[in-house]
Amino acid sequence: MRFRINHKKIKKNIDPDEIFLDSKNLPNFNTQQFEGRLEKAIPKRTIFLVGLFFLGFSFILIWQVVNLQIIKGNAYFQKSENNTLMKRPIFADRGLIYDRNKVLLSWNTWGNEDVDKLSSPIRSYYATPGFGLLLGYTSAPAKDSSGYYWQDNFIGKDGVESYFNDTLTGINGERITETDVKGVIQSENMISLPKAGTDVNLSIDARIQKKMYESISDMAKNVGFQGGAGAIMNIKTGELLAMTSFPEYNDNVLSEGDDSKTINGYFSDKSKVFLNRAVSGLYSPGSIVKPFLGYGALAESVITPLQVIFSNGSISIPNPYYPNKKSVFIDHGTFGYVDMRKAIAVSSDVYFYEVGGGYQDQKGLGILNIDKYLRMFGVGEKTGINIGGEKDGTIPTPEWKAITFKGEPWRIGDTYNTAIGQYGLQVTPIQMVKAVAGIANNGTIYTPHITLADKNFETPEVVPVDTNDMNVIHEGMRMAVTGGTATALNLPSVEVAAKSGTAQVGLGNTNTNSWIIGFFPYENPKYAFALVMERGPKAASGNATRVMSDVIDYMSVYTPEYLQ
């Protein structure tokens, strides 16, 4: 059968996709992939509405720019110039400092803004003489003219404040504040809260500290000493009950920083108010070295406890520079025949010249053994106390002399002078309180420290000693109190053992350092002490003993627990 195609009815050719749509796709129409569906054009009305939306949005945006930059631009410019955003610290509390009985020695004082702690605090101190060099002082937070804190924490500058600065320093909080041109806060946001520093508990008893300073100060002013220092230590722990130095600065004045006249006076003061004499003062010890040499002489069998030496006021040896003359080494008195105990009690120089350097038939320790036994108890070396500025001192030896005096040889006279604590021998009071604690404690030596129950100082150094020989030294020191050179310490309240010392200093030996070391109670020692009065009149021997007597007498009334 044939069909005739009517060309007049066909208006256009059929596209291939229409053929495929009709013949193949449509029967298997997939609605998920829109197979076989013809796309419909977006209506012109929709395009018009979208365009109108974007046009309106653009108009709003342009209006806001014009409003901010042109219409209100000057007002916002003035506000940006007058208001300032600043990151400001919220000051943390610096740790407090207490004595062993929880007496507050150092604290923080806040200003008018103490609630928010926006203002810089002031560090305040126990307003009693005797604590300045112990506690030290601080440099306070500081800001520039624009209010920016270029130092936003206290910085310890001396004493406890400096040594324990990291412990005492807290962590400041932080906030952002917006202030106007007049400095008025417009808004603020807190970023972090402050964290307080850690408190420090000292082993010092504020009552004894105060009394020791007052006694040293009174003696210095009345007799004419340049200064003085002293310490009392628990020989079983190393804890210091007192450690003071005269003269001193006022730590409140230095921390506040307003009294420039007084502060400038400190720096020009020839009495060295910034020198902590207890740990940094170097002094010729004089006869307080004799117990240590005495023990060395017994331990080395240089002499026996009961062997006597005739002390007639001096010994003489040939003069190396003038063979026709004698070098004479004098004593401060004539004591007749003395053994070890009596030699310590009356402080016979002749006895210790001979056991120290030898004389005629008497064998001597020699300078190397003198050095050995002094260092055995820590003399001439830093103690390791937990406060800054400690000095180590000097024990003269042939090597030391060759360096110091450009090759000069060591002579027997140098040994004699060293044996009585003169020549180049220099020590600190804190060294001597540690050393005499070693004698009192039969060779068990704790490190002096100013903190209470400090685990860093629990382990002592143990020096092997012969207790029989050491008992001889103890007895000699007790005899010094009952009938020798330290009778001012013969008190009814407690039995004390002690050794005094006088060292001549200055050009022509015109001045005197007066010393006392010792321990108490005698039968069961608990506390050792050392005290020096610095550079007084030549005749001012024995004054340190009277100062220490005054302190122990005070303790017997106001702190009797330490004497039992």
pLDDT digits (tens, 9 = 90+) for 76-86: 555 555 556 66
Do 500 and 431 share a structural domain? yes
Do 265 and 168 share a structural domain? no
The pLDDT of residue 73: 62
The pLDDT of residue 83: 56
CA end-to-end distance (rounded Å), the chain: 145
- Rounded to the nearest 5°, which phi and psi values hold at 48? -65, -40
Tell me the range of 138-142, 183-187, 275-279, 539-543 where mean pLDDT is highest: 275-279
Domain count, the chain: 2
Do 281 and 169 share a structural domain? no
Do 213 and 193 share a structural domain? no
Please report, rounded to a whole number, the percentage of residues in the chain having pLDDT higher than 90: 68
Its domain, for residue 255, covers 206-563
* Residue 80 in domain: no
Out of 110-119, 281-290, 461-470, least confident range: 110-119
Q: What is the DSSP letter of 452?
A: T
Cα–Cα distance for residue pair 138/124, rounded to 1 Å: 10
* Residue 13 in domain: no
Burial class (CB in 10 A: 0-12, 13-18, 19+), 500: buried
* Residue 25 in domain: no
| Contact in structure between 221 and 228 (CB atoms under 8 Å) | no
Do 194 and 210 share a structural domain? no
Do 344 and 484 share a structural domain? yes
The pLDDT of residue 162: 97
Out of 4-8, 54-58, 333-337, least confident range: 4-8
Do 282 and 164 share a structural domain? no
pLDDT (mean) for 468-489: 98
* Residue 354 in domain: yes
pLDDT (mean) for 546-553: 98
The pLDDT of residue 114: 46
The pLDDT of residue 43: 75
**Residue pLDDT, tens place only, 291-326:** 999 999 999 999 999 999 999 999 999 887 787 889
Asked if pLDDT for residue 122 goes beyond 70, the answer is yes
Do 240 and 173 share a structural domain? no
Alpha helices in 189-301 (DSSP H): 206-219, 251-256, 260-268, 277-280, 290-299
Average pLDDT of every residue of the chain: 88
* Residue 366 in domain: yes
pLDDT (mean) for 484-511: 92
**Residue pLDDT, tens place only, 3-22:** 444 544 444 555 555 554 44
Asked if pLDDT for residue 526 goes beyond 80, the answer is yes
* Residue of higher predicted confidence among 439 and 25: 439
**Residue pLDDT, tens place only, 166-224:** 999 999 998 887 776 656 766 777 888 999 999 999 999 999 999 999 999 999 999 99
Do 263 and 407 share a structural domain? yes
Asked if pLDDT for residue 355 goes beyond 60, the answer is yes
User: Which residues sit opposite 76 in a β-bridge?
Assistant: none
Do 367 and 242 share a structural domain? yes
The pLDDT of residue 24: 47
**Residue pLDDT, tens place only, 370-428:** 999 999 999 999 999 999 999 999 999 999 999 999 999 999 999 999 999 999 999 99
The pLDDT of residue 52: 78
The pLDDT of residue 6: 52
* Residue 437 in domain: yes
pLDDT (mean) for 496-513: 88
The pLDDT of residue 306: 97
pLDDT (mean) for 60-77: 68
* Residue 73 in domain: no
Q: What is the CATH number of the domain that holds 457?
A: 3.40.710.10
Look at residue 229 and give its three-state secondary structure. Answer: strand
Domain end call among 176, 201, 226: 201
- Determine the residue type at 489: L
Asked if pLDDT for residue 53 goes beyond 90, the answer is no
* Residue of higher predicted confidence among 106 and 143: 106
The pLDDT of residue 26: 47
Q: What is the CATH number of the domain that holds 105?
A: 3.90.1310.10
**How crowded is residue 539: how many other Cβ atoms within 10 Å of its Cβ?**
9
Task: Name the packing angle between helices 429-440 and 467-483 (round to 10°).
Answer: 120
Domain end call among 155, 173, 201: 201
User: Which residues sit opposite 529 in a β-bridge?
Assistant: 232, 518
Burial class (CB in 10 A: 0-12, 13-18, 19+), 459: exposed
Do 241 and 171 share a structural domain? no
- What number of CA atoms fall less than 13 Å from residue 237's CA on the CB side? 13
The pTM of the full predicted model, rounded to 2 decimals, is: 0.82
Do 532 and 495 share a structural domain? yes
Domain end call among 201, 219, 237: 201
Task: Using pLDDT thresholds of 50, 70 and 90, give the confidence band for residue 237.
Answer: very high
* Residue 19 in domain: no
Please report, rounded to a whole number, the percentage of residues in the chain having pLDDT higher than 70: 86
